[in-house]
A and B are shown apart, each in its own frame.
Chain A
Amino acid sequence: MSIRGRFRHSRGDFRLDVDFDLPGRGVTGVQGPSGAGKTSLLRAIAGLDRAPGGQLNVNGADWQRDKDFVPPHRRRVGYVFQDCRLFPHLDVRGNLAYARRRADNRDATPETNATRLLGLAPLLDRAVTGLSGGEQRRVAIARALVRGPDILLLDEPLSGLDRDRRADVLPWLEALHRELEIPVVLVSHDPGDIDRLADHLVLMRDGRIIASGAVQDILTNPGLPPSHSDEAATVIAATVEHYEPEWQLNTLRTSGGSLHLPGEPLPPGETVRVRVAARDVSITRSQPLETSILNYLPASIDTLDDMKGGQVVARLHSGKDPYLAHLTRRSVAALKLAPGDDVFIQVKSLALIS
């Protein structure tokens, strides 16, 4: 099960030149600066831009091969455009019904399911022009699901939304991630969106794919741009062990040791994902004593790479989990750090993703 394709075509000055093989299940994030060709890739997959000589096979079905080209309306693709593109002449219910009537797939997500999945029940009779940005996104996603797609394409589902509106959409996207069986391709220029939602990650620059792989591998690869960005982070899988009501702390077990997460109690035994930002990780040579920082783990240094601004990005692993740390060049010199060294990492804060 996979999404395989190749597109080579030009539009004005822009040239898309991609060759890809993506998992046929789960969420693939496509990340890159604006103008990298992320949207062009989605449009080519949807068949909206017809690239001569392109190839595309989605989970065994040829959508484009040599001269054969399946037109977009026969592709069973759910496309959520960046500007939502709800039909202004129909209300919310009408927009969903429009997709429903044309769904030729018996397995299509029923309207009631999509409505529930995206919390649209109170909005059904509203005019689309009166909806907030977040509400519009949710309706657009539901409409795409009702169509019964074999693949869901999301173009910047969170961009342009303020923090409250993001909070309005994000949980629904995470629910999709858990419940959907179909592959999802999610485009974003924001690495933060990607590591929350994606399993697989594609990096794009100037119309080309520069890297493609598991999110963890791409984000922590010191040879790739994400590990150098201020937002650089890793996502660690952990199991909930127990909760201490006295301190309001959850204890999580990772492959490298225990981590403590403040907040509400989590159900013991559940697997959760936590995000650790590179700028929140520091390194000590010896086991820290008398520190206010709760979380420290033994780790060993894999690589050290110079970054701009006199900084160094260190990639480490603790157990099987990769970590990133942004350090100053001076600290690296003072501690005489080198690849292969065994050290301790201190984690100032971590964030629960799901």
Chain B
Amino acid sequence: MTDLAAIRLSLELAAISTLILLALGIPLAWGLSQWRWRGRFLVDAVIALPLVLPPTVLGFYLLLTLGPNGPVGRLTEALGGTTLAFSFTGLVIGSVIYSLPFVVQPLQNAFSAIGRGPMETAATLGASPLDRFFTVALPMAKPGLLSAAALGFAHTLGEFGVVLMIGGNIPGETRVASIAVYDHVESLDWGAAHTLSLTLLLLSFVLLAVIYAVNRRARWFGP
């Protein structure tokens, strides 16, 4: 069943994007929470852009950037590959950019809330900067980490506009659940739209509920 494939694809996209988002977002959020330099507001603004931009705008520019005439497209072609539009990889890139603020902001808040104190303490106990990042900052930011992962995952799962622009609706490759729902609605197949939408709704709800339940527990440190 193609709708099942679409849901699987959505979950895969969300999972892979979330992992990449965390890998990028954690150092980025840490940097933003630590460094105070003059031009920082510009970085903040760039990261927050996907919050305000319509996803179609983002998708439109991604399409041009990833295309053979765009900078990224030229690079991928020069590296011997093809362009990334209409590919799963392309969707992952789009999702990562699209969901970045949803991951960076909770992390940044969590890191800022820790303050300098615990890190200084770890330094006086002999922990190098990298050591204290992994043994103090990350464990103390655990609730924020879970929130960031949950938001990144959920936001990617619900992504539509960007995928519509750079996806090309290829079954098994770029036809994610949100696109499939849209197609059903547009072709007046409301029954299928309902089935798929409710499945997606239920799935997202259960997922978020589990993550928030875990998060609630994690707020209490210690046993």
Contact = CB atoms under 8 A, between A and B. Distances in A.
Contact of B125 (A83, A127, A143): A143
Looking at A71, A77, A85, the one whose CB has the most chain B CB atoms below 10 A away is A85
A99 B122 CA distance: 8
Contacts of A180: none
B127 A88 contact: no
A81 interface: yes
Contact of B221 (A76, A81, A102, A127): A127
Given A127-B221, A129-B222, A87 B136 contact: yes
Among the interface residues B117, B120, B124, B132, which one has the most CB atoms of the partner chain A within 10 A?
A: B124
Interface in B193-223: 221-223
A44 to B, nearest CB: 13
Given A73-B122, A73-B123, 16 more contacts: A47-B123, A48-B124, A73-B128, A73-B131, A74-B126, A78-B124, A81-B117, A85-B117, A88-B140, A89-B136, A89-B222, A91-B223, A98-B127, A103-B126, A144-B125, A147-B124
Contact of A79 (B124, B135, B140): B124
A81 B135 CA distance: 19
Given A72-B123, A72-B124, A73-B126, A87 B222 contact: no
Interface size class of A (residues with CB under 8 A): 20 to 34
Contacts of B221: 88-89, 127, 129
B131 to A, nearest CB: 8
Residue among A83, A89, A91, A128 with most chain B CB within 10 A: A89
A98 B121 CA distance: 11
Contacts of B124: 46, 48, 72-73, 75, 77-79, 144, 147
A107 interface: no
Nearest to B117: A85
Contacts of B127: 73, 98, 102
A127 B222 CA distance: 6
A68 interface: no
Nearest to B138: A89
Interface string A39-61: 00000001110000000000000
Contacts of A144: 124-125
Contacts of B126: 73-74, 76, 99, 102-104, 147
A317 B8 CA distance: 90
A128 B222 contact: yes
Contacts of A47: 123
A74 B140 CA distance: 23
A79 B121 contact: yes
Contacts of A71: 123
B70 interface: no
Interface in B26-71: none
A73 B142 CA distance: 24
B168 interface: no
Interface residues of B, number: 22
Q: Is the interface of B mostly helix, strand, loop or mixed?
A: helix
Nearest to B115: A85
A58 to B, nearest CB: 14
Nearest to A146: B125
Q: Which of A72, A76, A103 has the most CB of B within 10 A?
A: A72
22 contacts: A48-B120, A48-B123, A71-B123, A73-B123, A73-B125, A73-B128, A73-B129, A73-B132, A76-B126, A81-B117, A81-B120, A83-B117, A85-B121, A87-B136, A87-B140, A88-B221, A89-B140, A89-B222, A91-B223, A102-B126, A102-B127, A147-B126
Nearest to B223: A127
Given A127-B223, A129-B221, A102 B125 contact: yes
Contacts of A89: 136, 139-140, 142, 221-222
B118 interface: yes
A122 B142 CA distance: 29
A99 B223 contact: no
Contacts of B121: 79, 81, 85, 87
A46 to B, nearest CB: 6
B120 A72 contact: yes
A87 B123 contact: no
A33 to B, nearest CB: 24
A87 B141 CA distance: 12
Interface string A134-147: 00000000011001
Nearest to A46: B124
Interface in A92-151: 98-99, 102-104, 127-129, 143-144, 147
Contacts of A129: 221-222
B130 to A, nearest CB: 10
A86 to B, nearest CB: 8
Given A87-B136, A88-B140, A98-B135, A147 B222 contact: no
A90 B118 CA distance: 12
Question: Considering residues B127, B131, B223, which has the most beta carbons from chain A within 10 angstroms of its beta carbon?
Answer: B127
A90 B221 CA distance: 8
A48 B221 CA distance: 27
